Structure 1
Amino acid sequence: MGDAGQEDAGDKDGGNELLEIVKTVVFALLIALVLRTLLFQPFTIPSASMEPNLYEGDYIVVSKWSYGYSKFSSGLPVNLPLGDSRLFGSAPARGDIVVFKLPRDDRTDYIKRVVGLPGDRIQVINNRLHINGQPVDNREISREVVRDVFGPRDTVQLRETLPGGRSYIIQDFGPGNELDDTPVYEVPVGYYFMMGDNRDNSIDSRVDEMNGVGLVPDENLVGRAQIILFSWSPGASLWNPVSWFANLRPSRFFKPLD
Protein backbone atom coordinates (compact mmCIF):
# COMPACT_ATOMS: atom_id res chain seq x y z
CA MET A 1 0.00 0.00 0.00
CA GLY A 2 2.83 2.37 0.89
CA ASP A 3 4.59 1.73 -2.43
CA ALA A 4 1.39 2.37 -4.39
CA GLY A 5 0.88 5.69 -2.57
CA GLN A 6 4.41 6.78 -3.47
CA GLU A 7 3.77 5.98 -7.12
CA ASP A 8 0.56 8.06 -7.08
CA ALA A 9 2.40 11.02 -5.57
CA GLY A 10 5.15 10.71 -8.17
CA ASP A 11 2.61 10.62 -10.99
CA LYS A 12 0.93 13.73 -9.56
CA ASP A 13 4.21 15.63 -9.34
CA GLY A 14 5.11 14.64 -12.86
CA GLY A 15 1.72 15.78 -14.10
CA ASN A 16 2.16 19.17 -12.40
CA GLU A 17 5.61 19.62 -13.94
CA LEU A 18 4.24 18.81 -17.39
CA LEU A 19 1.38 21.26 -16.88
CA GLU A 20 3.82 24.02 -15.87
CA ILE A 21 5.95 23.36 -18.96
CA VAL A 22 2.89 23.54 -21.22
CA LYS A 23 1.75 26.78 -19.55
CA THR A 24 5.22 28.29 -19.97
CA VAL A 25 5.32 27.37 -23.66
CA VAL A 26 1.79 28.75 -24.24
CA PHE A 27 2.61 32.04 -22.47
CA ALA A 28 5.86 32.36 -24.43
CA LEU A 29 4.00 31.82 -27.71
CA LEU A 30 1.34 34.38 -26.74
CA ILE A 31 4.01 36.95 -25.86
CA ALA A 32 5.79 36.29 -29.18
CA LEU A 33 2.46 36.66 -31.03
CA VAL A 34 1.71 39.97 -29.33
CA LEU A 35 5.21 41.29 -30.04
CA ARG A 36 5.00 40.29 -33.70
CA THR A 37 1.42 41.50 -34.12
CA LEU A 38 1.61 44.84 -32.34
CA LEU A 39 5.24 45.87 -32.02
CA PHE A 40 7.92 44.33 -34.22
CA GLN A 41 8.28 42.11 -37.26
CA PRO A 42 11.51 40.70 -38.74
CA PHE A 43 12.25 40.67 -42.46
CA THR A 44 15.12 39.43 -44.59
CA ILE A 45 16.26 41.60 -47.50
CA PRO A 46 16.05 39.47 -50.69
CA SER A 47 17.54 41.82 -53.31
CA ALA A 48 19.90 44.71 -54.03
CA SER A 49 17.22 47.37 -54.63
CA MET A 50 18.07 49.31 -51.45
CA GLU A 51 21.86 49.25 -51.74
CA PRO A 52 24.04 50.82 -50.44
CA ASN A 53 21.91 51.04 -47.26
CA LEU A 54 20.41 47.56 -47.22
CA TYR A 55 22.11 44.51 -48.70
CA GLU A 56 20.78 41.14 -49.71
CA GLY A 57 21.00 38.98 -46.59
CA ASP A 58 20.43 41.78 -44.07
CA TYR A 59 18.01 40.75 -41.33
CA ILE A 60 16.02 43.79 -40.23
CA VAL A 61 13.39 44.69 -37.64
CA VAL A 62 10.32 46.74 -38.59
CA SER A 63 8.28 48.69 -36.04
CA LYS A 64 4.57 47.95 -36.51
CA TRP A 65 3.29 50.86 -34.39
CA SER A 66 4.98 53.60 -36.43
CA TYR A 67 2.03 54.05 -38.82
CA GLY A 68 -0.72 52.32 -36.85
CA TYR A 69 -2.46 49.09 -37.77
CA SER A 70 -4.28 48.20 -40.97
CA LYS A 71 -5.77 45.01 -42.37
CA PHE A 72 -2.33 44.26 -43.88
CA SER A 73 -0.05 45.17 -40.98
CA SER A 74 -1.49 43.23 -38.05
CA GLY A 75 0.86 40.24 -38.41
CA LEU A 76 -2.08 37.87 -38.00
CA PRO A 77 -2.66 34.99 -40.44
CA VAL A 78 -5.92 36.68 -41.51
CA ASN A 79 -6.51 40.30 -42.56
CA LEU A 80 -8.32 42.48 -40.05
CA PRO A 81 -11.72 43.78 -41.29
CA LEU A 82 -10.61 47.42 -41.24
CA GLY A 83 -11.33 48.32 -44.86
CA ASP A 84 -9.14 51.22 -45.94
CA SER A 85 -8.75 52.63 -42.42
CA ARG A 86 -5.96 52.31 -39.83
CA LEU A 87 -6.08 52.04 -36.05
CA PHE A 88 -3.87 54.64 -34.34
CA GLY A 89 -2.80 55.74 -37.82
CA SER A 90 0.19 58.01 -38.36
CA ALA A 91 1.62 59.19 -41.68
CA PRO A 92 5.17 58.23 -42.70
CA ALA A 93 7.74 60.99 -42.95
CA ARG A 94 9.48 61.77 -46.21
CA GLY A 95 12.61 59.63 -46.29
CA ASP A 96 11.37 56.76 -44.11
CA ILE A 97 12.34 53.25 -45.20
CA VAL A 98 9.04 51.38 -45.29
CA VAL A 99 7.88 47.78 -45.68
CA PHE A 100 4.55 47.55 -47.50
CA LYS A 101 2.34 45.06 -49.28
CA LEU A 102 2.64 45.18 -53.05
CA PRO A 103 -0.57 46.86 -54.27
CA ARG A 104 -1.20 44.49 -57.17
CA ASP A 105 -1.50 41.40 -54.95
CA ASP A 106 -1.71 42.69 -51.32
CA ARG A 107 0.49 39.75 -50.22
CA THR A 108 4.08 40.31 -51.32
CA ASP A 109 6.25 42.39 -48.97
CA TYR A 110 8.37 45.15 -50.55
CA ILE A 111 10.79 47.59 -48.94
CA LYS A 112 11.49 51.06 -50.37
CA ARG A 113 11.99 54.65 -49.28
CA VAL A 114 9.15 57.17 -49.14
CA VAL A 115 10.05 60.12 -51.38
CA GLY A 116 6.59 61.38 -52.34
CA LEU A 117 3.79 62.39 -49.94
CA PRO A 118 0.12 63.04 -50.75
CA GLY A 119 -0.15 66.16 -52.91
CA ASP A 120 3.43 65.96 -54.23
CA ARG A 121 4.48 65.98 -57.86
CA ILE A 122 7.38 63.57 -58.44
CA GLN A 123 9.61 63.32 -61.50
CA VAL A 124 13.09 62.03 -62.35
CA ILE A 125 15.01 64.14 -64.87
CA ASN A 126 18.46 63.08 -66.04
CA ASN A 127 19.03 60.78 -63.04
CA ARG A 128 17.92 63.40 -60.54
CA LEU A 129 14.82 63.29 -58.34
CA HIS A 130 12.56 66.35 -58.54
CA ILE A 131 9.84 67.09 -55.97
CA ASN A 132 7.21 69.70 -56.77
CA GLY A 133 9.27 71.06 -59.64
CA GLN A 134 12.47 71.45 -57.62
CA PRO A 135 15.59 69.26 -58.03
CA VAL A 136 16.56 67.41 -54.88
CA ASP A 137 20.08 68.14 -53.71
CA ASN A 138 22.49 65.27 -54.39
CA ARG A 139 26.26 65.36 -54.15
CA GLU A 140 28.71 62.76 -55.33
CA ILE A 141 30.71 61.19 -52.52
CA SER A 142 32.44 58.22 -54.16
CA ARG A 143 32.78 56.00 -57.22
CA GLU A 144 32.93 52.25 -56.81
CA VAL A 145 32.79 49.02 -58.80
CA VAL A 146 29.80 46.88 -57.82
CA ARG A 147 29.41 43.26 -58.91
CA ASP A 148 25.86 42.12 -59.63
CA VAL A 149 24.11 39.69 -62.00
CA PHE A 150 25.49 41.69 -64.95
CA GLY A 151 29.07 41.44 -63.68
CA PRO A 152 31.27 44.28 -62.36
CA ARG A 153 29.81 47.73 -63.05
CA ASP A 154 30.90 51.26 -62.25
CA THR A 155 28.62 53.06 -59.82
CA VAL A 156 28.35 56.54 -58.37
CA GLN A 157 27.31 57.02 -54.76
CA LEU A 158 25.64 60.30 -53.89
CA ARG A 159 24.29 61.90 -50.74
CA GLU A 160 20.69 62.85 -51.43
CA THR A 161 18.99 65.41 -49.17
CA LEU A 162 15.21 65.68 -49.28
CA PRO A 163 13.14 68.77 -48.52
CA GLY A 164 13.05 68.94 -44.75
CA GLY A 165 16.68 67.84 -44.40
CA ARG A 166 16.48 64.02 -44.44
CA SER A 167 19.77 62.76 -45.91
CA TYR A 168 21.02 59.34 -47.02
CA ILE A 169 23.24 57.66 -49.62
CA ILE A 170 21.93 56.48 -52.99
CA GLN A 171 23.61 54.45 -55.72
CA ASP A 172 23.43 55.09 -59.47
CA PHE A 173 24.87 53.30 -62.50
CA GLY A 174 25.14 56.48 -64.53
CA PRO A 175 23.07 58.05 -67.34
CA GLY A 176 21.10 56.30 -70.04
CA ASN A 177 19.12 53.85 -67.93
CA GLU A 178 15.42 53.16 -68.33
CA LEU A 179 14.16 55.03 -65.26
CA ASP A 180 16.51 58.03 -65.44
CA ASP A 181 13.78 60.18 -67.02
CA THR A 182 10.11 59.86 -66.12
CA PRO A 183 6.85 61.71 -66.54
CA VAL A 184 5.42 63.73 -63.66
CA TYR A 185 3.61 61.58 -61.09
CA GLU A 186 0.95 63.31 -58.99
CA VAL A 187 0.50 61.63 -55.61
CA PRO A 188 -3.17 61.63 -54.53
CA VAL A 189 -4.46 61.77 -50.98
CA GLY A 190 -3.98 58.44 -49.20
CA TYR A 191 -1.03 57.32 -51.36
CA TYR A 192 2.78 57.44 -51.28
CA PHE A 193 5.52 57.39 -53.90
CA MET A 194 8.32 54.88 -53.19
CA MET A 195 11.83 54.59 -54.64
CA GLY A 196 14.73 52.24 -54.03
CA ASP A 197 18.09 53.68 -53.02
CA ASN A 198 19.74 51.63 -55.78
CA ARG A 199 18.16 53.84 -58.40
CA ASP A 200 18.97 51.86 -61.55
CA ASN A 201 18.24 48.49 -59.96
CA SER A 202 14.86 49.02 -58.31
CA ILE A 203 11.31 48.26 -59.40
CA ASP A 204 9.35 50.92 -57.53
CA SER A 205 6.68 53.61 -57.98
CA ARG A 206 8.33 54.74 -61.22
CA VAL A 207 6.92 51.56 -62.77
CA ASP A 208 3.11 51.29 -63.02
CA GLU A 209 1.13 49.03 -60.73
CA MET A 210 0.58 46.34 -63.37
CA ASN A 211 4.32 45.82 -63.95
CA GLY A 212 5.95 47.24 -60.84
CA VAL A 213 4.81 48.99 -57.69
CA GLY A 214 2.92 52.10 -58.69
CA LEU A 215 1.57 54.40 -56.00
CA VAL A 216 1.23 52.69 -52.61
CA PRO A 217 -2.03 53.07 -50.65
CA ASP A 218 -1.80 54.03 -46.99
CA GLU A 219 -3.48 50.80 -45.86
CA ASN A 220 -0.68 48.74 -47.49
CA LEU A 221 1.99 50.10 -45.16
CA VAL A 222 3.28 47.43 -42.77
CA GLY A 223 5.82 49.41 -40.76
CA ARG A 224 9.04 51.37 -40.63
CA ALA A 225 12.43 49.66 -40.95
CA GLN A 226 14.41 50.57 -37.84
CA ILE A 227 17.59 48.50 -37.50
CA ILE A 228 19.70 45.76 -39.07
CA LEU A 229 20.01 43.01 -36.44
CA PHE A 230 22.54 40.89 -38.30
CA SER A 231 23.62 40.08 -41.82
CA TRP A 232 24.87 37.25 -44.01
CA SER A 233 26.37 37.63 -47.44
CA PRO A 234 24.84 35.45 -50.20
CA GLY A 235 26.06 31.87 -49.88
CA ALA A 236 24.97 31.20 -46.31
CA SER A 237 22.76 28.12 -46.07
CA LEU A 238 20.37 27.21 -43.28
CA TRP A 239 21.42 23.57 -43.66
CA ASN A 240 25.17 24.28 -43.53
CA PRO A 241 26.15 25.83 -40.16
CA VAL A 242 29.73 26.34 -41.32
CA SER A 243 28.48 28.77 -43.95
CA TRP A 244 26.83 30.90 -41.26
CA PHE A 245 30.17 31.94 -39.83
CA ALA A 246 31.98 32.12 -43.17
CA ASN A 247 29.39 34.57 -44.53
CA LEU A 248 28.68 36.75 -41.50
CA ARG A 249 28.98 40.53 -41.94
CA PRO A 250 29.59 41.70 -38.33
CA SER A 251 30.10 45.32 -39.37
CA ARG A 252 26.38 45.47 -40.23
CA PHE A 253 25.13 44.07 -36.90
CA PHE A 254 22.82 46.40 -34.90
CA LYS A 255 23.11 49.15 -37.50
CA PRO A 256 20.32 51.77 -37.23
CA LEU A 257 18.68 52.74 -40.53
CA ASP A 258 18.50 56.34 -41.77
Structure 2
Amino acid sequence: MTFSLILFLLTVFTGVLWVLDVFVWKPKRVKVMSDELQQFDRSNEDALRRGVQSVVAARSAMVTRMNERPKWLEYTAGFFPVIFFIFILRSFIFEPFRIPSGSMMPTLESGDMILVNKYNYGLRLPVLNTKIVPIGEPERGDVIVFRYPADEKIDYIKRVVGLPGDKIEYINKRLTINGKPVPVTADGKYYDEAKMQELDQFVEQLGKKDHRILNNRAAPAGAYPLPIHNNPDACDYVRGGLICTVPKDTYFVLGDNRDNSEDSRYWGFVPEKNLVGRANMIWMNLSKPSRIGFFD
Protein backbone atom coordinates (compact mmCIF):
# COMPACT_ATOMS: atom_id res chain seq x y z
CA MET A 1 0.00 0.00 0.00
CA THR A 2 1.51 3.33 -1.04
CA PHE A 3 1.99 6.26 1.30
CA SER A 4 -0.43 8.33 -0.81
CA LEU A 5 -3.17 5.76 -0.28
CA ILE A 6 -2.44 5.50 3.44
CA LEU A 7 -2.54 9.29 3.78
CA PHE A 8 -5.82 9.42 1.83
CA LEU A 9 -7.43 6.76 4.06
CA LEU A 10 -6.21 8.53 7.21
CA THR A 11 -7.64 11.80 5.95
CA VAL A 12 -11.02 10.20 5.24
CA PHE A 13 -11.11 8.31 8.55
CA THR A 14 -10.15 11.25 10.77
CA GLY A 15 -12.32 13.60 8.67
CA VAL A 16 -15.44 11.48 9.20
CA LEU A 17 -14.84 11.40 12.95
CA TRP A 18 -14.18 15.17 12.98
CA VAL A 19 -17.47 15.88 11.19
CA LEU A 20 -19.41 13.54 13.49
CA ASP A 21 -17.81 15.16 16.53
CA VAL A 22 -18.47 18.74 15.42
CA PHE A 23 -22.04 18.23 14.26
CA VAL A 24 -23.32 15.30 16.35
CA TRP A 25 -21.30 14.27 19.39
CA LYS A 26 -20.10 17.66 20.62
CA PRO A 27 -23.61 19.21 20.65
CA LYS A 28 -24.79 16.23 22.69
CA ARG A 29 -21.87 16.58 25.13
CA VAL A 30 -22.51 20.29 25.47
CA LYS A 31 -26.25 19.69 26.10
CA VAL A 32 -25.52 17.16 28.85
CA MET A 33 -22.90 19.36 30.46
CA SER A 34 -25.14 22.44 30.19
CA ASP A 35 -27.88 20.62 32.07
CA GLU A 36 -25.36 19.58 34.73
CA LEU A 37 -24.03 23.14 34.93
CA GLN A 38 -27.49 24.57 35.41
CA GLN A 39 -28.14 22.04 38.17
CA PHE A 40 -24.79 22.94 39.77
CA ASP A 41 -25.62 26.67 39.63
CA ARG A 42 -28.99 26.10 41.30
CA SER A 43 -27.45 23.97 44.01
CA ASN A 44 -24.63 26.41 44.68
CA GLU A 45 -26.37 29.70 44.03
CA ASP A 46 -25.48 31.24 47.36
CA ALA A 47 -21.83 30.07 47.29
CA LEU A 48 -21.37 31.39 43.77
CA ARG A 49 -22.88 34.74 44.75
CA ARG A 50 -20.46 34.98 47.66
CA GLY A 51 -17.56 33.92 45.40
CA VAL A 52 -16.53 30.85 47.36
CA GLN A 53 -13.27 29.94 45.63
CA SER A 54 -13.64 26.15 45.76
CA VAL A 55 -17.15 26.33 44.24
CA VAL A 56 -16.05 28.79 41.54
CA ALA A 57 -13.10 26.50 40.67
CA ALA A 58 -15.41 23.48 40.45
CA ARG A 59 -17.70 25.38 38.09
CA SER A 60 -14.74 26.42 35.90
CA ALA A 61 -13.63 22.79 35.69
CA MET A 62 -17.11 21.80 34.49
CA VAL A 63 -17.00 24.47 31.76
CA THR A 64 -13.57 23.22 30.65
CA ARG A 65 -14.81 19.60 30.45
CA MET A 66 -17.76 20.80 28.38
CA ASN A 67 -15.37 21.66 25.52
CA GLU A 68 -13.08 18.65 25.86
CA ARG A 69 -13.17 15.66 23.53
CA PRO A 70 -12.83 12.09 24.83
CA LYS A 71 -9.23 10.89 24.58
CA TRP A 72 -9.97 8.50 21.68
CA LEU A 73 -11.42 11.39 19.68
CA GLU A 74 -8.56 13.70 20.62
CA TYR A 75 -6.13 11.25 19.00
CA THR A 76 -8.24 10.70 15.88
CA ALA A 77 -10.56 13.56 14.97
CA GLY A 78 -8.22 15.97 16.76
CA PHE A 79 -5.48 15.25 14.21
CA PHE A 80 -7.73 15.78 11.17
CA PRO A 81 -6.80 19.45 10.48
CA VAL A 82 -3.08 18.60 10.45
CA ILE A 83 -3.52 15.44 8.35
CA PHE A 84 -5.82 17.28 5.93
CA PHE A 85 -3.27 20.07 5.50
CA ILE A 86 -0.49 17.57 4.78
CA PHE A 87 -2.75 15.68 2.37
CA ILE A 88 -3.58 18.83 0.36
CA LEU A 89 0.03 20.04 0.40
CA ARG A 90 1.46 16.69 -0.68
CA SER A 91 -1.25 15.85 -3.22
CA PHE A 92 -1.56 19.15 -5.07
CA ILE A 93 1.37 21.45 -4.26
CA PHE A 94 4.70 19.90 -3.20
CA GLU A 95 5.88 16.39 -2.45
CA PRO A 96 9.27 15.46 -0.98
CA PHE A 97 11.45 12.76 -2.51
CA ARG A 98 14.86 11.33 -1.68
CA ILE A 99 17.38 10.62 -4.45
CA PRO A 100 18.40 6.95 -4.08
CA SER A 101 21.12 6.64 -6.74
CA GLY A 102 23.68 8.50 -8.82
CA SER A 103 21.89 8.37 -12.18
CA MET A 104 21.27 12.15 -12.13
CA MET A 105 24.77 13.23 -11.10
CA PRO A 106 26.14 15.86 -11.14
CA THR A 107 22.78 17.67 -10.92
CA LEU A 108 21.50 15.44 -8.11
CA GLU A 109 23.47 13.18 -5.81
CA SER A 110 22.41 10.19 -3.77
CA GLY A 111 21.03 11.49 -0.48
CA ASP A 112 19.65 14.75 -1.87
CA MET A 113 16.12 15.40 -0.60
CA ILE A 114 14.14 17.29 -3.20
CA LEU A 115 10.80 19.03 -3.50
CA VAL A 116 8.63 18.19 -6.49
CA ASN A 117 6.17 20.76 -7.78
CA LYS A 118 2.90 18.82 -8.19
CA TYR A 119 0.88 21.48 -10.04
CA ASN A 120 3.26 22.42 -12.89
CA TYR A 121 1.84 19.71 -15.14
CA GLY A 122 -1.79 19.88 -13.98
CA LEU A 123 -3.73 18.97 -10.86
CA ARG A 124 -4.38 15.24 -10.48
CA LEU A 125 -6.67 13.28 -8.21
CA PRO A 126 -4.70 11.64 -5.40
CA VAL A 127 -4.29 7.84 -5.61
CA LEU A 128 -6.10 7.68 -9.00
CA ASN A 129 -3.58 10.09 -10.61
CA THR A 130 -6.25 11.34 -13.03
CA LYS A 131 -5.66 14.87 -14.33
CA ILE A 132 -8.57 17.14 -13.43
CA VAL A 133 -7.13 20.60 -14.16
CA PRO A 134 -4.67 21.00 -17.07
CA ILE A 135 -2.08 23.66 -16.30
CA GLY A 136 1.09 22.97 -18.29
CA GLU A 137 3.22 20.34 -19.99
CA PRO A 138 6.84 19.30 -19.49
CA GLU A 139 9.43 21.32 -21.39
CA ARG A 140 12.66 20.04 -22.84
CA GLY A 141 15.27 20.12 -20.09
CA ASP A 142 12.85 19.75 -17.16
CA VAL A 143 13.85 17.36 -14.38
CA ILE A 144 10.74 15.29 -13.73
CA VAL A 145 9.55 12.69 -11.25
CA PHE A 146 7.30 10.02 -12.71
CA ARG A 147 5.91 6.61 -11.94
CA TYR A 148 8.18 4.03 -13.58
CA PRO A 149 6.18 2.55 -16.50
CA ALA A 150 7.32 -1.02 -15.80
CA ASP A 151 6.35 -0.82 -12.11
CA GLU A 152 4.20 2.14 -11.16
CA LYS A 153 4.82 1.60 -7.46
CA ILE A 154 8.32 2.99 -8.04
CA ASP A 155 9.11 6.67 -8.65
CA TYR A 156 11.92 7.63 -11.04
CA ILE A 157 13.59 10.96 -11.69
CA LYS A 158 15.15 11.87 -15.06
CA ARG A 159 15.54 14.81 -17.45
CA VAL A 160 13.10 15.38 -20.31
CA VAL A 161 14.96 15.22 -23.62
CA GLY A 162 12.28 14.32 -26.16
CA LEU A 163 8.76 15.72 -26.46
CA PRO A 164 5.89 13.99 -28.31
CA GLY A 165 6.73 13.76 -32.02
CA ASP A 166 10.48 14.46 -31.62
CA LYS A 167 13.08 12.37 -33.40
CA ILE A 168 15.78 11.53 -30.86
CA GLU A 169 19.20 10.17 -31.80
CA TYR A 170 21.69 9.15 -29.12
CA ILE A 171 24.71 7.77 -30.93
CA ASN A 172 28.30 7.55 -29.70
CA LYS A 173 27.24 9.40 -26.53
CA ARG A 174 26.04 12.47 -28.39
CA LEU A 175 22.46 13.67 -28.54
CA THR A 176 20.64 14.92 -31.64
CA ILE A 177 17.05 16.22 -31.60
CA ASN A 178 15.08 16.58 -34.83
CA GLY A 179 18.28 16.51 -36.87
CA LYS A 180 20.09 19.18 -34.81
CA PRO A 181 23.01 18.17 -32.57
CA VAL A 182 22.54 19.36 -29.00
CA PRO A 183 25.39 21.75 -28.08
CA VAL A 184 27.85 20.44 -25.49
CA THR A 185 30.93 22.10 -24.01
CA ALA A 186 33.68 20.32 -22.10
CA ASP A 187 33.66 21.32 -18.43
CA GLY A 188 36.55 19.50 -16.81
CA LYS A 189 36.31 16.41 -14.66
CA TYR A 190 33.93 15.15 -11.99
CA TYR A 191 34.98 12.72 -9.27
CA ASP A 192 32.39 10.11 -8.34
CA GLU A 193 33.09 9.46 -4.66
CA ALA A 194 30.85 6.41 -4.44
CA LYS A 195 32.61 4.57 -7.29
CA MET A 196 35.97 6.31 -6.81
CA GLN A 197 36.32 7.16 -10.48
CA GLU A 198 36.88 10.27 -12.55
CA LEU A 199 34.28 11.14 -15.19
CA ASP A 200 34.23 13.58 -18.08
CA GLN A 201 31.91 16.51 -17.44
CA PHE A 202 30.11 18.57 -20.07
CA VAL A 203 27.64 21.45 -20.17
CA GLU A 204 24.70 20.48 -22.38
CA GLN A 205 22.18 22.98 -23.73
CA LEU A 206 18.57 21.85 -24.19
CA GLY A 207 16.65 24.78 -25.63
CA LYS A 208 17.43 27.74 -23.37
CA LYS A 209 18.48 25.56 -20.44
CA ASP A 210 22.04 24.57 -19.60
CA HIS A 211 22.89 21.67 -17.34
CA ARG A 212 25.85 19.42 -16.68
CA ILE A 213 26.14 15.81 -17.79
CA LEU A 214 28.73 13.08 -17.21
CA ASN A 215 30.32 10.50 -19.49
CA ASN A 216 32.49 7.57 -18.55
CA ARG A 217 35.22 7.01 -21.12
CA ALA A 218 35.52 3.37 -20.11
CA ALA A 219 31.82 2.65 -20.76
CA PRO A 220 30.97 1.45 -24.27
CA ALA A 221 28.69 3.48 -26.50
CA GLY A 222 25.37 1.94 -27.44
CA ALA A 223 22.09 0.87 -25.92
CA TYR A 224 19.78 -2.10 -26.00
CA PRO A 225 16.05 -2.56 -25.32
CA LEU A 226 15.06 -4.42 -22.18
CA PRO A 227 12.21 -6.95 -22.32
CA ILE A 228 10.08 -4.42 -20.42
CA HIS A 229 10.42 -1.77 -23.18
CA ASN A 230 6.96 -0.24 -23.59
CA ASN A 231 7.26 0.67 -27.30
CA PRO A 232 10.22 -1.00 -29.07
CA ASP A 233 8.70 -0.34 -32.51
CA ALA A 234 9.32 3.40 -32.00
CA CYS A 235 13.09 2.89 -31.80
CA ASP A 236 15.86 1.58 -34.04
CA TYR A 237 18.90 0.28 -32.20
CA VAL A 238 21.98 0.95 -34.28
CA ARG A 239 25.72 0.68 -33.83
CA GLY A 240 26.69 3.02 -31.00
CA GLY A 241 23.19 3.96 -29.91
CA LEU A 242 19.59 4.34 -31.01
CA ILE A 243 17.14 6.46 -32.98
CA CYS A 244 13.61 6.96 -31.61
CA THR A 245 10.49 8.84 -32.60
CA VAL A 246 8.66 9.84 -29.43
CA PRO A 247 5.03 8.64 -29.54
CA LYS A 248 2.05 10.86 -28.79
CA ASP A 249 1.46 11.69 -25.10
CA THR A 250 4.85 10.33 -24.04
CA TYR A 251 8.32 11.69 -23.24
CA PHE A 252 11.88 10.50 -23.82
CA VAL A 253 14.03 10.92 -20.70
CA LEU A 254 17.71 10.52 -19.87
CA GLY A 255 19.75 10.59 -16.69
CA ASP A 256 22.45 13.27 -16.50
CA ASN A 257 24.97 10.56 -15.58
CA ARG A 258 24.63 9.17 -19.08
CA ASP A 259 26.67 6.00 -18.69
CA ASN A 260 25.09 5.08 -15.37
CA SER A 261 21.37 5.57 -15.93
CA GLU A 262 18.61 3.15 -16.83
CA ASP A 263 16.27 5.39 -18.81
CA SER A 264 14.29 5.70 -22.05
CA ARG A 265 17.15 4.12 -23.98
CA TYR A 266 16.36 0.85 -22.27
CA TRP A 267 12.76 0.67 -21.04
CA GLY A 268 10.97 3.14 -23.34
CA PHE A 269 8.90 6.27 -22.91
CA VAL A 270 7.21 8.03 -19.99
CA PRO A 271 3.43 8.25 -20.55
CA GLU A 272 1.90 11.62 -19.72
CA LYS A 273 -0.41 9.91 -17.21
CA ASN A 274 2.64 8.76 -15.21
CA LEU A 275 3.91 12.28 -14.50
CA VAL A 276 4.19 13.23 -10.83
CA GLY A 277 5.74 16.68 -11.10
CA ARG A 278 8.74 18.88 -11.80
CA ALA A 279 11.75 18.90 -9.49
CA ASN A 280 13.90 22.00 -9.07
CA MET A 281 14.93 22.31 -5.41
CA ILE A 282 17.09 20.41 -2.93
CA TRP A 283 15.64 21.12 0.51
CA MET A 284 18.01 18.93 2.52
CA ASN A 285 21.12 16.76 2.31
CA LEU A 286 22.16 15.58 5.75
CA SER A 287 25.76 14.83 4.77
CA LYS A 288 26.21 17.88 2.47
CA PRO A 289 24.08 20.83 3.67
CA SER A 290 25.81 23.08 1.12
CA ARG A 291 23.83 21.38 -1.64
CA ILE A 292 20.55 22.92 -0.43
CA GLY A 293 19.05 25.21 -3.05
CA PHE A 294 17.55 25.35 -6.54
CA PHE A 295 18.96 23.47 -9.53
CA ASP A 296 18.40 23.42 -13.29
TM-score scaled by length of structure 2: 0.69
Q: Does 1:105 align with 2:151?
A: yes
CA 1:64/1:153 → structure 2, altered by over 3 Å: closer, same or farther? same
AA paired with 1:154? E
1:38 Cα offset (Å): 1.0
Q: In the alignment, which residue of structure 1 is the partner of 2:99?
A: 45
Q: Any idea what the Cα deviations from partners look like across 1:132-189, whole Å, max 9, x if unmatched?
A: 12221111111133233xx422201100012x22110111112642547322111011
Q: Any idea what the Cα deviations from partners look like across 1:85-119, whole Å, max 9, x if unmatched?
A: 55324211100000000111222100000000011
1:5 Cα offset (Å): 7.8
Name the CA distance, whole Å, in 2 between partners of 1:10 and 1:114: 62
CA 1:185/1:13 → structure 2, altered by over 3 Å: closer, same or farther? same
Question: CA contact under 8 A between 2:219 and 2:259: conserved in structure 1?
Answer: no
Q: In the alignment, which residue of structure 2 is the partner of 1:191?
A: 250
Question: CA contact under 8 A between 2:173 and 2:241: conserved in structure 1?
Answer: no
Question: CA contact under 8 A between 1:126 and 1:175: conserved in structure 2?
Answer: no
Q: In the alignment, which residue of structure 2 is the partner of 1:172?
A: 215
Q: In the alignment, which residue of structure 2 is the partner of 1:257?
A: 295
**Unaligned ranges ≥5, structure 2:** 1-42, 45-53, 224-239
CA 1:56/1:176 → structure 2, altered by over 3 Å: closer, same or farther? closer
Three-state SS of the structure 1 residue aligned to 2:242 is coil
Stretch of structure 1 that moved more, 174-183 or 184-193:
174-183
Three-state SS of the structure 2 residue aligned to 1:140 is strand
Identity %, equivalent residues: 38
Q: In the alignment, which residue of structure 2 is the partner of 1:68?
A: 122
Question: CA contact under 8 A between 2:222 and 2:242: conserved in structure 1?
Answer: no
Q: In the alignment, which residue of structure 2 is the partner of 1:159?
A: 203
Correspondence list, 1:1-258, <5 A:
6-7=57-58, 9-16=60-67, 18=69, 25-70=79-124, 74=125, 76=126, 78-80=127-129, 82=130, 87-148=133-194, 151-162=195-206, 164-174=207-217, 176-179=219-222, 181-208=240-267, 214-232=268-286, 247=287, 249-253=288-292, 255-258=293-296
AA paired with 1:177? P
Q: Comparing both chains, which one has the higher relative contact order based on Cα–Cα distances under 8 Å and sequence gaps of 6 or more?
A: 1
AA paired with 2:137? A
1:18 Cα offset (Å): 4.9
**Unaligned ranges ≥5, structure 1:** 209-213, 233-246
Question: CA contact under 8 A between 2:171 and 2:222: conserved in structure 1?
Answer: no
Three-state SS of the structure 2 residue aligned to 1:168 is strand
Question: CA contact under 8 A between 2:91 and 2:118: conserved in structure 1?
Answer: yes
Question: CA contact under 8 A between 1:179 and 1:206: conserved in structure 2?
Answer: no
Question: CA contact under 8 A between 1:137 and 1:161: conserved in structure 2?
Answer: yes
Three-state SS of the structure 1 residue aligned to 2:91 is helix
CA 1:251/1:118 → structure 2, altered by over 3 Å: closer, same or farther? same
Q: Any idea what the Cα deviations from partners look like across 1:120-140, whole Å, max 9, x if unmatched?
A: 111211111111122211111
Three-state SS of the structure 2 residue aligned to 1:113 is strand
Question: CA contact under 8 A between 1:59 and 1:230: conserved in structure 2?
Answer: yes
Stretch of structure 1 that moved more, 125-134 or 45-54:
125-134
CA 1:26/1:147 → structure 2, altered by over 3 Å: closer, same or farther? same
Name the CA distance, whole Å, in 2 between partners of 1:37 and 1:145: 37
CA 1:33/1:182 → structure 2, altered by over 3 Å: closer, same or farther? same
* Structure richer in helix, relative to its length: 2
Three-state SS of the structure 2 residue aligned to 1:118 is coil
> Number of matched residues?
226
Q: In the alignment, which residue of structure 2 is the partner of 1:236?
A: none
